Structure 1
């Protein structure tokens, strides 16, 4: 399966490189776009769960790396819960 990284910019300007075992992230996020925090979390959750399910269909087990990445994204997002109009930007995709 083609792996990829997607780089995001958090509301405080910090960036993070995120892992996906599938290119499905491109179906849910777009480079150059910014998303409201909850919208970003929903999109990332859908993309990474879908990617994990693709791994499961192919190899018989869910992708712990994808689910772990989602947990890290969710934990990072908690820092910005109190930030009004917090937005997350998608900086680039790396295949």
Structure 2
């Protein structure tokens, strides 16, 4: 399943947008909503190598969906959101 299909299949609430961008040693998965709210998770290349591409992406998307359903926090400044990091052990 390609990434866009996984995002569509993850069941994000209405109005939530998911963006994925490369950043250093990994990818940032960001969910944003209305009024400058959002949250992101940095999925490191090490985590993908340890746990596998499919399971890590599914876990990250699930966590972002949970945050979106619970209510996204406001941005710290325009375009800067709270972040968690998923690293390999």
TM-score interval, smaller chain: 0.3 to 0.5
Structure with higher RCO (Cα < 8 A, 6+ apart): 1
Q: TM-score normalised to the size of structure 1? A: 0.33
